[in-house]
Structure 1
Amino acid sequence: MNKLLPAAAVAAALGLTGCGGGSSAESSPSAIATSTIKVGVFDTNQTCNQLFAKDDDSRLITASTFVANLPTEIDKSQRTLAKISAGDLEFVANTANEAMKPLVLDLAKPLKDLGESDQSGFDREAYKMAESKVLEKCSTQYSSYQGNKAARAAVEKAEADVAARKAAEEAAAKAAAEAAAAPKEYAGFGDDVVTITKHDTGAQAAIIQHTGGSNFAVHTLDATLDTTDLLVNTIGNYSGAVLFDARSRGQTTALKITAGGSWTIKLVPLTSVRSFDGSVPITGAGDDVFYYKGATKAVTFTHDGSSNIAVHTFGTRPDLLINEIGAYTGTVVWAPGLYQVTADGNWSATLK
C-alpha cells in the first residue's frame, strides 16, 4: 500500500522553501522527478514485508501456491486467478525500489501472460527463476514465514492429535456403551434352567418367544434357585415383552423355562424399551413394556382379547391400574413412569 507523506516532507523532496523555490537545478523537472521517485519508493525490506504480509495469505505465498497447484488443463477460472495474482504482485512492484521492482515484475509476468492470453501452458521455469531471486532478496522474511509455518503446523498437529484422541475415546466409550446395552440372548428347546447375567441391578426387560403347542411358562429364580415370580404362563405360541425385578425382591440370577417347543429370551436394558409422550396413541398386541413420558392425564385404554388384561405402572407411585378379563374399554389416570401391559389381544392407550 502506498504511504502518504507529510506536506513538509514533500516540500523538502521538491526543494521548496517558505520563501520561494531553490536553485534552478533543484527546481528543474529532472530534479523534481528524481526526488519524487526517491520519496515514493520503499526499500527492499519494506517490499519484502509487503510480499510476505499475512503469511499463507500473502501475495507471494498465494501466487506460489497457485502455481504449485496449477493443473495441466488450464480453464477460464485459473486464468482469472492468475490475472488477479499478477495484479497483486504488480501493485507491490509499483512502490518497489530499483533493485526489487524488476524482480517482482519478472515474478508477475508469467502469471499475467497466463491471465491475458489463451496460451495452453504456463512458463513455470520463468516463474521459479524469478521466485528464487525474490526469495534471495527476502531471505529474512522467508525464514520468518517458514518459522511461522512450522509453528502453525506444530499447533495444528497438536490440535489434530487431541481431536483424534478425543474421537477415539468417544468411539471407545460409544462401543462400550453399545456392548453394555446389547441384548443378552438365551435360547433352547423344552424345559431348562438358564443362568442369566443382567445389564444392571434392578428392573430388567425380557423379550420372550416360544413356538410350540403345549404349556409355556417362565419363572424367575434367585441366587438360591427359589422361585420369585411368574413372568409368562400360556398355552402354545407366545411373543411378548415382560418386566422382572421391578420390585425389591432380590436379584434374578436364573430363569426356569417350561416348554414343549423352542424358545428364545433376550434381556434388554430399560433404556432400550419404547416410549411415548401421549401426542399419538400407543398400541400393541400381547405383553409389552414401555415408558410414558408425558404429563399426568386421563387415558382411554382398550383391549380386544379374551383373557386377563392388566396394566401396572412403576412410576413414583406403583399401582395396578387395570385388571380385568376379556375385552375392555375404560379411562384411567396415567402419570409419567414405566408401564407393564399383560394381555392376549390387541390394545391401545389414547390420552384424552
Structure 2
Amino acid sequence: MGEIQIIQGMIAKMGLQYFNPGTIHRVEVTHINNPKSFYVQLASLSEDIMLLEGRGNPINVEDIKIAKHVIYKSKTLNKYVRGVIECVLFKETSASCTVYALDYGCRDKRVSSKRIFLPEMDIDCPPMALHCQLHLCEPKELEFEEDVIDAMKFFIGKHTAKMTIIYRAVDKLTVELKTLECPDDVATTLGLLNFTTLTSYDNEVNRFQAATSKSKFVTYKAKNVKVGDKLCVRVQSGDTAGNLQNVFAAQIDGRGCGVRVGEPPKFERAYVIKVTKPGAKALVKLIDWGKEIEVDFNDIKCVKVAAYTELPAIAMYCTSTEDQIFADGLDECSQFLIEILELGNGKDVPHKITMTRMDIPKDEQ
C-alpha cells in the first residue's frame, strides 16, 4: 500500500463516527495534563504516524509564522514530530517558538528555529491525538493536585490501554480507561485510593433538551492602565506600530459568546459584530486577541458563566508614534516593552504608546 493510501486510511479512522459511545479502542496515552485533559493515539496508527514525521528542508526564519505546520525536535518527546507554531519571538537571523505537537497533545516552548523543518510530505492531515477526559473523576478541591497527576501517570504506565467511549463531544471524548497496572479502570482506582472523587458534574448543555437561551448583551471590562505605566506585552494582531492590539484590555459592547477556534480547538471570549450569513455564519471579535473573524454558528456558544464576562479583556488597542514605525513591520507574538503616553477610550480610540523591542535570551536561540 502506498504512503498516500496509508495516510488516507489514518484520516478515515479519525472521523467522529468512529468513536460512538460504547465503542472500545486500543490506545496509547501520549500526554497527560490531568484526569480531565489528556491525549491518546489509536495504537493501530502509531507506526503509520511516522510517515507524517519525515523532515524536509530546514525552515527559513522569514517563513516562520503563526499556525504554520512544521516538523520540529520536541524536548518533551525527545524526537522529531509534526507541530503547529503557536507563538514566535524573532531576533535578527533566528527565532524562538512555542510549538504544539499535533499527534501527541503536548506543547514545547523555546524551540529554536534551528530545530524546525518543513514537512517532507505536503499533505493536509488532521491531528492524530484525541483529547479525552476520565468519566466519573473529579478533583477533591478546585483543581487536581500534582500527586493526582503523578498517580494517573503511574497507573497508566507505558503500555497500551483499553478505552471505552462514554460521551462524545466535538472537542473532547469522555472515556473509561483500563490498563495492566489497574485492577479497575483508572478513574475508579484513583477514587478508591482517595486521590479523586468518583462523581460527575454535568455542565454540558444538551442542545436538544435545553431551553433556548435568551440573547444577552454584555460589557467586557477594561484593564486599568494610566499614563506612565510600563508594561511587558506581546503583539496579538495588527501588522504596523500604528495599528496593533497588545495583550491587555479594551471595553467592548456586544453580544457575548464563546467561539471555538484554533488547532487544537479551544474556546475564546468574543462578541458578535454582525450576522454575515443568516442561520449559518457571523462576524465576531475575539476580545483577548483583538481580531475579527468569521465563524460558523456551530462554533459559537452562549455565555452562561458570570466570570466569563467579569474578567477584564486581555487585548488593548494601541498606536505608536511615526518615528517608531519598524521597517519590517510587526509579527504576531513579537514582544515589546511599552509605556502609556496618552489614554484612549479602550474601544475605537487607541492608547498612544512608546515601544521598545525585547531580545531573545541567548539560551533560547
Say which structure, 1 or 2, has more relative contact order (CA 8 Å, 6+ apart): 2
Same fold (TM over 0.5): no
More helix by share: 1
Q: TM-score range by the shorter chain?
A: under 0.3
Which is higher, the Rg of structure 1 or of structure 2?
Answer: 1
TM-score, normalised with respect to structure 1: 0.18
More strand by share: 2
TM-score, normalised with respect to structure 2: 0.18
